[in-house]
């Protein structure tokens, strides 16, 4: 019996122990409960999203009819796939991407290659977002609130001038100081346009000589490479002259910004024209819309007429096409309203400079300064910086560009999208300034993606950010005549980091954080540049070595 019991005990030990059924049941019940809770939460969020979409659709149907059109997607979409035609038509209403379809793709390999190509920019006759939104009474009320803000700033300046200074200046002193030597800037601007027009004839000469050298392939390559080197050199000289003249003429901030921004715009326009048409010349494409013109130019490369190039120089776009969608007439009342908005915001900037920026930082370097004083000044600049940020967007991307579009009957007014609803910095950068973003995408990102980094979107995006950050810093640095790369750090380091960190952010919290970071970032940026400017002005600093020039005056004033 003892032997049998030991044998049974050994068999029981040899057999694997079954888990406790109660423990397993508890685990399964907890798992089921957790799954049901997650499912209910996800289902609740999905139902809330559907109800929110229905409410938004109903709101658009009654209050925003311009956004409820059947072609809404095509109206507010900016690009199409590469299968869309490349040329453009000059129709009054419609797409500016031609009507002739490309020939069908024959092989599977070429089809895969075609699918890998990046989408192309299209031009469509459409109004700006705010032009459509301001047709709604609720949005017009917000527009009127900004009018009242302007009036309040004006009353503030009037009261201060009368009770403190005993006179009325109305910000005209800021205009006189900021626009000094503007006639020199206009002279340089005219000479720059002469240079830009000369580039057209140089490009035409390159195309004709290249065609004549077609039987001699080695001479043709030598000619093209030599012209490419001359073109790059001319662009570098153009950039160098505009920046060096800011220092030579000792231009004030506003005049320097006008010169540098116009020089940058012309530089981007020249590259867009050369980049777009050089590809056509190298591929041997000619214009096909007019058979008579094709006979006259048979055997010669097609170069757009000078009228197309001249219109492009003044059109509010940085993407070259032979023609664009045009409006049927000029709305003079609309154009006058946009011009008055430009003047009003300019006065608002003068008021903010006199009553806030100068008041907060005018004595920097002459008064005691510690961390507590700096924090108070930073928070004192929060609201004025937010107004500067929003009004700067409205001034340039809405009022000024719509004003020039109306005078030129330029049809595509999508200079920006609804960036204020973005919940990621990726979407914000794409929608904030569509004009510059399209140029960076078309002539920098696509070339980097295709020829330099060969399929790496991250590397191409980083290159675009670095180039944009350098140009922003170059404009601010030379306009203020200082080396203080805060803009480069905010744009090229912090901005790039936030693009990757916020890609999975929830919509509501992402949008809240976006606005918080924009207001705080702009206040910090404006405050730091103002402190550096007044530190250089008020502190008697020596620049005996390069280290003295590189160290910020903000630091050297109190150390």
Read off the pLDDT of residues 260-308 as tens digits, 9 standing for 90 and up. 999 999 999 999 999 999 988 888 755 444 434 443 345 678 889 999 9
* pLDDT class of 557 with cuts at 50, 70, 90: confident
Range from 12-26, 90-104, 408-422, 498-512 carrying the lowest mean pLDDT: 90-104
* Most confident stretch, 117-121, 369-373, 440-444: 440-444
Q: Residue 316 pLDDT > 90, yes or no? A: yes
| Whole-number average pLDDT of the chain | 81
pLDDT at 111: 40
Clarify whether 472 is annotated catalytic: yes
Q: What are phi and psi of 134, to 5 degrees?
A: -75, 0
- Tell me, what's the pLDDT at 80? 60
Q: CA 79, 81, 85, 86: dihedral to nearest 10 degrees?
A: 60
CA dist., res. 540 & res. 547, Å (int): 16
Percent with pLDDT over 70 in the chain? 81
Confidence (pLDDT) at 518: 93
For range 113-127, the mean pLDDT: 72
Q: Is the pLDDT of residue 147 over 70?
A: yes
Instruction: State both tokens at 385.
Output: 């910086």
Q: Which band of pLDDT confidence, cut at 50, 70 and 90, is reported for residue 437?
A: very high
Least confident of 175-184, 302-311, 493-502, 537-546: 537-546
Range 135-148 average pLDDT: 84
- According to DSSP, residue 67 is labeled G
Lowest-confidence region among 258-272, 333-347, 545-559:
545-559
Distance CA 398, CA 385 (A): 19
Instruction: Note the pLDDT of residue 419.
Output: 92
Cα dist from 240 to 243, 248, 363, 379, 474, whole Å? 5, 12, 34, 38, 11
In 314-337, which positions are buried (b, 16+ CB within 10 angstroms) versus exposed (e)? ebbbbbbbbbbbbbeeeeeeebee
Q: CA–CA separation, 38 vs 46, rounded Å? A: 12
26: pLDDT strictly greater than 50: yes
Interstrand relation of 120-121 and 79-80 (parallel, antiparallel or unpaired): antiparallel
Is there a contact between 255 and 181 (Cβ–Cβ < 8 Å)? Answer: yes
User: Buried (b) or exposed (e) across 259-292, using 16+ Cβ within 10 A?
Assistant: bbebbbbbbbbbbbbbbbbbebbeeeeeeeeeee
What was the pLDDT predicted at 105?
Answer: 41
pLDDT: is 107 or 507 the higher one? 507
Mean per-residue pLDDT, 423-428: 90
Q: What is the pLDDT of residue 332?
A: 93
Distances (CA, A) of 500 to 53, 426, 463, 464: 27, 8, 15, 15
Which residue of the set 77, 271, 358, 472 is catalytic? 472
Q: Give the pLDDT confidence score for residue 222 in this predicted structure.
A: 92
For residues 471, 472, 476, 477, the Cα torsion angle rounded to the nearest 10 degrees is: -50
Lowest model confidence (mean pLDDT) among 161-170, 197-206, 435-444: 161-170
Distance between CA atoms of residues 20 and 420, nearest Å:
57
pTM: 0.78
Lowest mean pLDDT segment, chosen from 139-148, 158-167, 232-241, 527-536: 158-167
**pLDDT at position 217:** 86
- Rounded to whole angstroms, the Cα distance separating 227 from 202 reads 9
Does 515 score more than 60 pLDDT? yes
pLDDT level of residue 17 (50, 70, 90 thresholds): low
The pLDDT value given to residue 117: 66
């Amino acid at each position: 019996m003892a032997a049998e019991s030991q044998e049974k005990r050994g068999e029981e030990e040899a057999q694997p122990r079954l888990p406790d059924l109660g423990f397993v049941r508890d685990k399964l019940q907890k798992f089921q409960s957790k799954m049901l809770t997650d499912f209910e939460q996800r289902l609740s969020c999905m139902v809330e999203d559907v109800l929110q979409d229905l409410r938004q659709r109903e709101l658009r149907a009654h209050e925003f009819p311009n956004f409820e059109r059947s072609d809404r997607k095509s109206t507010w979409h900016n690009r199409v796939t590469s299968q869309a035609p490349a040329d453009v038509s000059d129709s009054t209403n419609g797409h500016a991407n031609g009507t002739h379809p490309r020939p069908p793709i024959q092989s599977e390999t070429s089809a895969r290659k075609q699918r890998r190509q990046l989408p192309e920019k299209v031009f469509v006759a459409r109004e700006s977002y705010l032009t459509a939104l301001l047709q709604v009474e609720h949005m017009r009320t917000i527009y009127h609130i900004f009018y009242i803000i302007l009036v309040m700033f004006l009353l503030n300046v009037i009261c201060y001038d009368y009770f403190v200074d005993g006179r009325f200046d109305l910000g005209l002193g800021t205009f006189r100081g900021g626009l000094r030597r503007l006639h020199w800037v206009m002279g340089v601007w005219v000479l720059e346009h002469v240079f830009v027009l000369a580039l057209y004839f140089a490009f035409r000469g390159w195309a004709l000589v290249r065609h004549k050298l077609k039987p001699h392939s080695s001479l043709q390559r030598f000619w093209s490479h030599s012209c490419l080197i001359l073109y790059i050199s001319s662009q570098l000289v153009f950039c160098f002259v505009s920046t060096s003249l800011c220092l030579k003429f000792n231009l004030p901030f506003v005049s320097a910004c006008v010169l540098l921004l116009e020089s940058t715009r012309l530089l981007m326009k020249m590259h867009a024209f050369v980049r777009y048409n050089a590809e056509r010349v190298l591929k041997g494409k000619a214009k096909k819309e007019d058979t008579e013109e094709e006979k006259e130019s048979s055997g010669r490369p097609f170069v757009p007429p000078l009228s197309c190039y001249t219109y492009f120089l003044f059109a509010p776009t940085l993407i070259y096409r032979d023609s664009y969608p045009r409006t049927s007439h000029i709305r003079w009342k609309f154009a006058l309203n946009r011009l008055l908005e430009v003047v009003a915001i300019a006065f608002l900037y003068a008021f903010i400079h006199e009553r806030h920026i100068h008041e907060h930082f005018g004595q920097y370097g002459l008064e005691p300064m510690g961390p507590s004083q700096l924090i108070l000044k930073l928070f004192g600049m929060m609201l004025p910086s937010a107004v500067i940020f929003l009004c700067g967007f409205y001034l340039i991307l809405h009022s000024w560009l719509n004003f020039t579009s109306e005078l030129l009957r330029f049809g595509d007014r999508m200079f920006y999208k609804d960036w204020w609803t973005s919940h990621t910095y990726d979407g914000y950068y794409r929608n904030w300034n569509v004009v510059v973003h399209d140029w960076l995408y078309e002539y920098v990102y696509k070339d980097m993606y295709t020829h330099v980094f060969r399929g790496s979107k991250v590397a191409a995006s980083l290159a675009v950010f670095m180039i944009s950050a350098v140009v922003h810093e170059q404009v601010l640095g030379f306009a203020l005549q200082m080396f203080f790369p805060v803009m480069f750090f905010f744009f090229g380091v912090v901005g790039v980091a936030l693009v990757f960190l916020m890609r999975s952010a929830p919509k509501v919290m992402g949008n809240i954080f976006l606005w918080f970071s924009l207001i705080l970032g702009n206040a910090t940026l404006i405050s730091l540049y103002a402190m550096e400017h007044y530190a250089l002005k008020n502190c008697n600093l020596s620049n005996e070595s390069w280290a003295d020039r590189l160290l910020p005056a903000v630091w050297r004033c109190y150390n």
